[in-house]
């Protein structure tokens, strides 16, 4: 099991440093861009030279690292560093491979985020980035799970970062993954059309194999690829039977994103889970490869008995008074699927 001790989330909504999820910040031009903080922990001279993905990752990670060193840094990203990569390639053309900006080159690879976090925190431990499109975050969690199993007394930083770059936005828009009609995120689930809203964000978790002082526990995680809705339903039932041993699912945190082509997957997950309450979160952050990291962050909030989730998050509900077991399900473009079981500690 993977125990979660502390977490942070930078998103298009007011999630850092305080949470104000009742106020929904509207999308602009079918995009939900992160509401960036002032980053007081990052030296201004470094901040000026950082690309957006690096800024987001470091800004979300440093508050957790103030609590003490970690044994490793494990990140997942689908598009991290892509914007700086494109800028560097454009400079090669513009300046005929002459004097180029080194900052764009240094930050142009996905592992630049984890590397910068390690440098700023003088961490010389395990440092890795998983870049597996829509399962990048889930694979980072599995990696952290294995590390915590081998070293249960050590804590690790695990997180996910993605940005909206002009490159990936244009390609995904042309491929039909974003809405062609203009729409605001508060009406994301009211239409019946293909595509979603482009999003970005960063979520970080301090985890270990030790249950002491933990707020939640990730009890199980599974990924699959190429499943049909019927196959997915069978897999989720098997997953819950093996992981819960008959206990009910109190809440489903669904990655439903307003794309009518993917609705059948989410409806299969709803039926297979048997949950009476369903929460959706992509009206908060939009769609991107590691959006399910925000889903885990929201699931941890939902386990807090004193946390009141706003009504606009619920597809069915309300939140159970004694919320103990949460199933999280997300699919990326209908090809990659990940589901996790999150519980309160002490169960």
Q: Which domains does the chain have, with CATH numbers?
A: 2-208 (3.40.47.10), 216-343 (3.40.47.10)
Could you tell me the pLDDT band of residue 101, with boundaries at 50, 70 and 90?
Answer: low
Q: What is the DSSP letter of 193?
A: B
The answer to which of 33-42, 111-120, 131-140, 277-286 has the lowest mean pLDDT is: 33-42
CA pair distance 280, 38, nearest whole angstrom:
28
Q: Is the pTM of this model over 0.85?
A: yes
Query: Can you tell me the mean pLDDT for 43-68?
Result: 90
Residue 197 makes CB contacts below 8 A (sequence gap 6+) with 27, 30, 31, 32, 178, 179, 183, 185, 188, 257, 258, 282, 286, 287
Check pLDDT > 90 for residue 102: no
pLDDT score for 346: 65
- Round the average pLDDT of the chain to a whole number and report it: 91
pLDDT score for 320: 87
Could you tell me the pLDDT band of residue 110, with boundaries at 50, 70 and 90?
Answer: confident
**Nearest-10 crossing angle of helices 52-65, 82-94:** 140
User: pLDDT tens, 288-313?
Assistant: 999 999 999 999 999 998 888 999 99
pLDDT score for 84: 62
Query: Can you tell me the mean pLDDT for 36-51?
Result: 84
pLDDT score for 7: 96
Check pLDDT > 60 for residue 347: no
CA pair distance 60, 161, nearest whole angstrom:
9
The answer to which of 79-88, 134-143, 155-164 has the lowest mean pLDDT is: 79-88
pLDDT score for 318: 87
Name which residue leads in pLDDT, 101 or 342.
Answer: 342
Helices (H) and strands (E) in the chain, counts: 11, 13
Q: Which of 302, 158, 326 is nearest to 252 (CA)?
A: 326
Name which residue leads in pLDDT, 196 or 317.
Answer: 196
pLDDT score for 81: 53
Could you tell me the pLDDT band of residue 82, with boundaries at 50, 70 and 90?
Answer: low
- DSSP E strands in 23-101: the ranges are 31-32, 72-76
pLDDT score for 86: 65
Check pLDDT > 90 for residue 62: yes
CA pair distance 179, 261, nearest whole angstrom:
12
CA pair distance 291, 160, nearest whole angstrom:
8
User: pLDDT tens, 195-239?
Assistant: 999 999 999 999 999 999 999 999 999 999 999 999 999 999 999
Could you tell me the pLDDT band of residue 42, with boundaries at 50, 70 and 90?
Answer: confident
Q: What is the DSSP letter of 40?
A: T
pLDDT score for 104: 60
């Amino acid at each position: 099991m993977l125990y979660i001790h502390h977490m942070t989330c930078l998103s298009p909504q007011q999630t850092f440093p305080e949470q104000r999820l009742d106020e929904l910040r509207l999308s602009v031009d079918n995009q939900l861009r992160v509401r960036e903080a002032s980053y007081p922990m990052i030296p201004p001279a470094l901040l000026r030279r950082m690309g957006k993905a690096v800024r987001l990752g470091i800004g979300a990670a440093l508050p957790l690292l103030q609590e003490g060193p970690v044994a490793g840094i494990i990140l997942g990203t689908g598009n991290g560093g892509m914007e700086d990569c494109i800028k560097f390639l454009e400079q090669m053309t513009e300046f005929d491979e002459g004097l180029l900006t080194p900052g764009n080159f240094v930050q142009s690879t996905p592992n630049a985020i984890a590397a910068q976090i390690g440098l700023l925190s003088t961490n010389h431990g395990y440092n890795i980035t998983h870049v597996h499109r829509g399962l990048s975050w889930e694979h980072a969690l599995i990696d952290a799970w294995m590390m915590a199993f081998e070293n249960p007394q050590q804590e690790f930083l695990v997180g996910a970062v993605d940005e909206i770059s002009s490159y990936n936005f244009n390609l995904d828009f042309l491929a039909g993954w974003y809405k062609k009609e203009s729409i605001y995120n508060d009406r994301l689930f009211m239409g019946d059309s293909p595509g979603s809203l482009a999003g970005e964000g960063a979520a970080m978790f301090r985890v270990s194999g030790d249950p002491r002082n933990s707020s939640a526990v990730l009890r199980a995680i599974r990924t699959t690829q190429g499943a049909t809705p019927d196959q997915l339903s069978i897999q989720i039932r098997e997953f819950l039977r093996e992981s819960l041993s008959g206990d009910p699912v109190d809440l489903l945190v669904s990655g439903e994103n307003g794309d009518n082509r993917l609705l059948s997957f989410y409806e299969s997950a709803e039926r297979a889970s048997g949950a009476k309450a369903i929460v959706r979160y992509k009206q908060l952050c939009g769609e991107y490869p590691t959006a399910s990291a925000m889903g885990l962050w929201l699931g941890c909030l939902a386990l807090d008995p004193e946390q009141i989730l706003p009504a606009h998050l619920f597809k069915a509900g309300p939140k159970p008074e004694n919320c103990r077991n949460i199933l999280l399900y997300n699919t990326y473009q209908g090809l990659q699927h990940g589901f996790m079981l999150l519980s309160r500690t002490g169960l």
